[in-house]
Amino acid sequence: MKYGILPVRHSNARYQAELSTLAEKELLLLLKAGGLTPNAQWMTISGVELITFEADALTAEQADILSDHSLLYWLFEIRSDNSLMPVLSQKQALLGEDLPYIQKYKGKTNERFTQMLINMALYSSSCFREEGLKMLDPMCGRGTSLFLAANRGVTPTGADASRSEIAECSRFFKRYLEYHRIKHKQNKHARTHKGVNIPMETFDFAMPFGENGSRGEIALATVDARNVHGLGKGAYHILVADLPYGVQHAPSGKGGLAALMEETAEAYRAALKPGGAAALAFNVNTLKRIQVTEALEKAGFEIAEGEIYDGMAHWVEQAVTRDVVVGIVPEKHR
């Protein structure tokens, strides 16, 4: 049988060309995770471009996995006469479809790219079928990744060295819960790691679009990325981060972003469970791919390689060409 994915398009022609490459690679990853042959090609039907693939009749699980595609507008079965039959998934945003999109601010990572980053980590790990999935974003800013994860039933923890960013994320999320009259509890507390106090707060909330009685949790921590393993060693299934793009983020002004990458990689590895995966995005104009991969390998990660993971560098804007590296914690590491 032939299936097609109609991806969301971008108005910028240059960005759209590279977006198409990312969409195809993400589809290959999801097909592989669903136990399907990773095959994909583009075709045009009645002037509409689709990414197509061949597979037997999709199971409910396979349809659910494919519905996680970050650029998915619709999934179709393509009939012999080129008519399109929608393939429906039961998945939906559990907390609020609009939640990750409301905040607009300078430096915010695109929501769909962030969704792709989550997919790259989740479906590269060996954990994606487990219950109670947990995600860590060690540089979460105002929480885009956290809200996307919560909508999928993944329990996220967001950490950031900036107290003001964490505070803004907390204020926004509290207002959102109150505006939508979602029952919740907010608890402020702290952890201690190597004698350092880590301020934290946790939101426990009802899932409006989940099963009856289902609840979610988002935790926020004000802590430097080099110490995120203090939030729990081996506690997380996946880790995602859009690394700083500018040299102003160099640790103590020394060594640049490469030094920061080296200093954080071990903390990332320690925070993840065996079989867990980290997906890191970075600007190749300020941080080279080899610097990221070498830091991760030195920390004990295995670098995901092959057609799915190679050639993901893409233009974003002037001075920013973004790439993605996925590192996996070996099952036998601990």
pLDDT in tens, 122-167: 999 999 999 999 999 999 999 999 999 999 999 999 999 999 999 9
C-alpha–C-alpha distance, residues 157 and 144, integer Å: 12
pLDDT above 90 coverage of the chain, percent: 82
Side-chain half-sphere CA neighbours of 128 within 13 A: 24
CA-angle at 290, arms to 284 and 295, nearest 5°: 110
- Residue 181 has a pLDDT of 97
Under DSSP, the state recorded for 99 is: G
Under DSSP, the state recorded for 255 is: S
C-alpha–C-alpha distance, residues 332 and 156, integer Å: 25
Residue 37: closest CA among 319, 310, 307: 307
Give 304 or 253, the one with higher predicted confidence: 304
Phi first, then psi: what are they for 135, rounded to 5°? -125, 145
Give the mean pLDDT of 304-320: 93
C-alpha–C-alpha distance, residues 176 and 98, integer Å: 10
Give the mean pLDDT of 258-279: 97
C-alpha–C-alpha distance, residues 209 and 167, integer Å: 27
Confidence band for 329, pLDDT divided at 50, 70 and 90: very high
Dihedral, CA of residue 22, residue 318, residue 104 and residue 279, to nearest 10: 40
- The least confident of 72-76, 101-105, 247-251 is 247-251
CA-angle at 99, arms to 94 and 105, nearest 5°: 155
Using a 10 angstrom Cβ sphere, with 0-12 exposed, 13-18 middle and 19 or more buried, the burial of residue 7 is buried
Tokens coding 71: 């650029």
Give residues with Cβ within 8 angstroms of 231, minimum separation 6.
Answer: 136, 157, 159, 191, 193, 198, 219, 221, 223, 271
- Which residues, in sequence order, are bridge partners of residue 272? 236
For the cut 70, the answer to whether the pLDDT of residue 176 exceeds it is yes
Give residues with Cβ within 8 angstroms of 7, minimum separation 6.
Answer: 19, 20, 23, 51, 69, 71, 72, 73
C-alpha–C-alpha distance, residues 285 and 274, integer Å: 32
- Residue 252 has a pLDDT of 45
Q: What is the pLDDT of residues 208-223, one digit of tens each?
A: 999 888 999 999 999 9
Confidence band for 251, pLDDT divided at 50, 70 and 90: very low
b/e map of 21-38 (b: 16 or more CB within 10 Å)?
ebbbbbbbbbbbbbebeb
How, if at all, do strands 215-222 and 302-303 pair?
Answer: unpaired
Contact between 21 and 314 under an 8 Å Cβ cutoff? The reply is: yes
- Residue 254 has a pLDDT of 55
- Residue 333 has a pLDDT of 45
- The amino acid sitting at 255 is G
Tokens coding 20: 């198409």
Cα dihedral sign, 330-60-70-222? negative
Give the mean pLDDT of 305-313: 95
Q: What is the pLDDT of residues 83-134, one digit of tens each?
A: 899 998 888 899 999 999 999 998 899 999 999 999 999 999 999 999 999 9
Q: Mean pLDDT score of the chain, rounded to an integer?
A: 93
For the cut 60, the answer to whether the pLDDT of residue 300 exceeds it is yes
pLDDT above 70 coverage of the chain, percent: 95
- Residue 255 has a pLDDT of 65
- Residue 15 has a pLDDT of 67
C-alpha–C-alpha distance, residues 191 and 183, integer Å: 26
